[in-house]
Structure 1
Amino acid sequence: MTGGVGYRAMMQNFLRGEGLAARAMRSSALTVGGYAGSQAMRLASNLILTRLLFPEAFGTMALVMLVMQGLAMFSDVGTAPAIMQSKRGDDPEFLDTAWTIQVIRGVCLWIATCILAYPAAQFYNTPELVQLLPVAGFSLIIAGFGPTRIHSANRHLILGRVTVIDLCTQAVSLLAAIVFALVTQSVWALVVSGIVSVVVQLALYSRFLPGRSNRLRWEKESAQELVRFGRWIFLSTVAGFILSQGDKLVLGKYLSLQGLGIYNIGYFLASFPLLLGTMVIRRVLIPLYRERPPKESRENFLKFRKLRFLLSAMIFAMLFTLSFLGVGLVDLLYDSRYALAGGIVVLVAAMQVPHIIALTYDQAAVAAGDSDQYFVLAATRAGLTLTGLVLGAQYYGLTGALLGQGAAYLLSYPVVVWLARRQGCWDPFHDAAFAVLGVALAALAIWMNLEAISGLIAMNSPPN
Structure 2
Amino acid sequence: MSAILTRIGALASGQGLAQRAFRGSALTVLGFGSMQAIRLGSNLILTRLLFPEVFGLMALIMVIIQGLNNFSDVGITPAIMQSKRGDDQSYLNTAFTMQVMRGIGLWIACCIFAYPAARFYEIPELVWYLPIAGLTTIIHGLQTTRVESANRHLQMGRLTLVEVLAALFSVIVTIALSAVMRSAWALVIGLVLGAIIRVLLAARMLPGTPNRLHWDRSAVTELVSFGKWIFPSTVVGFALSQGDKAILGKYLTLGELGIYNIAFFFASFPVLLGQAVITKVMIPVYRDAAGAEAENRFRQLRKVRAGLTAGFLLLTFFMAAIGPALVQLLYDARYDNAGPMVTMIACATIPALIGLTYDQAALASGNSRGYFWLTLVRAALFLTFFLVGVRQAGIAGGLAGQALATIAAYPLIVRLARRHKVWDPLHDLLFGAIGAGLAAVLLL
Q: TM-score range by the shorter chain?
A: over 0.9
Say if 1:150 and 1:205, in contact at 8 Å, map to a contact too.
yes
**1:381-437, CA deviations, whole angstroms, 9 ceiling, x for partnerless residues?**
000011112211222222211111111111000000100110111111111111211
| Equivalence for 1:454 | none
Matches of residues 14-93 of structure 1 in structure 2 within 5 Å?
14=11, 16-93=13-90
What are the Cα deviations for residues 137-191 of structure 1, in whole angstroms up to 9, with x where unaligned? 0111011000111000000111111100111100111101111111111111111
* Partner Cα distance (1:160, 1:29) in 2: 10
Secondary structure, counterpart of 1:352 in structure 2: helix
The equivalent residue for 2:152 is 155
Residue in 2 that maps onto 1:213: 210
Q: Within 1, Cα distance between the matches of 2:346 and 2:160? A: 27
How far is 1:293 from its partner? 3.1
Verify the 8 A CA contact 1:294 1:424 in the aligned structure 2: no
Q: Which whole-Å CA distance do the structure 1 matches of 2:347 and 2:12 have between them?
A: 37
Kept after mapping to 2: 8 A contact 1:295/1:424: no
Which ranges in structure 2 are unaligned for 5 or more consecutive residues? none
Cα 1:7–1:384 shift into 2, 3 Å: closer
Q: Following superposition of structure 1 onto structure 2, how do residues 362-401 of structure 1 map, counting pairs within 5 Å?
A: 362-401=359-398
Structure 1 gap ranges (5+): 448-464
Contact 1:242/1:385 (CA < 8 Å) preserved in 2? yes
- For residue 201 of structure 2, what is the aligned residue in structure 1? 204
Structure-2 residue corresponding to 1:289: 286
Decide whether the 8 Å contact of 1:293 with 1:300 is kept in 2. yes
Measure the CA separation in 1 of the matches of 2:311 and 2:330: 24
CA–CA distance in structure 1, aligned partners of residues 417 and 383 of structure 2: 23
TM-score, length-normalised on structure 1?
0.93
Q: Match for 1:223 among 220, 224, 230?
A: 220
Q: Note the 1:408-423 alignment, pairs <5 A.
A: 408-423=405-420
* Match of residue 136 from structure 2: 139
Query: Match of 1:340?
Result: 337
* Residues 1:247 and 2:232 aligned together: no
Q: Cα distance, 1:304 vs. partner?
A: 1.3
Quote the offset at 1:326 in angstroms. 3.2
Query: 1:32: how far off?
Result: 1.1
Q: Distance in 2 between matches of 1:125 and 1:141?
A: 27
Indicate the residue corresponding to 1:169 in structure 2. 166
Give the stretch that moved more between structures: 20-29 or 258-267: 20-29
Residue of structure 1 in register with 2:103 after alignment:
106
Identical-residue share of aligned pairs (%) = 51
SS in 2 for 1:378: helix
Check whether the contact 1:294–1:423 (CA below 8 A) recurs between aligned residues: no
User: Which is worse superposed, 285-294 or 117-126?
Assistant: 285-294
Aligned pair partner of 1:280 in 277, 282, 288:
277
Q: How many angstroms apart in 2 are the aligned matches of 1:70 and 1:140?
A: 12
Q: Give the Cα–Cα distance (whole angstroms) in 1 for the partners of residues 104 and 202 of structure 2.
A: 20
Aligned-residue RMSD, C-alpha: 1.6
Match of 1:352 in 2: 349
Counterpart residue type for residue 220 of structure 1: R
AA aligned opposite 2:205: F
CA distance in 1, matches of 2:437, 2:152: 38
Structure 2 residue 309 is the aligned partner of structure 1 residue 305: no
| Contact map agreement 1:90 1:152 (CA 8 A) in 2 | yes
**TM-score normalised to structure 2 length:** 0.97
Query: Where does residue 253 of structure 2 map in the other structure?
Result: 256
Q: Which residue of 2 aligns with 1:119?
A: 116
Could you tell me how far apart the structure 1 residues matched to 2:354 and 2:21 are?
Answer: 21
- Aligned-pair CA distance for 1:109: 0.3
User: Could you tell me how far apart the structure 2 residues matched to 1:294 and 1:74 are?
Assistant: 35
Deviation at 1:198, TM superposition (A): 0.9
Q: Residue in 2 aligned with 1:455?
A: none
* Number of matched pairs: 443
Matches within 5 A, 1:428-439: 428-439=425-436
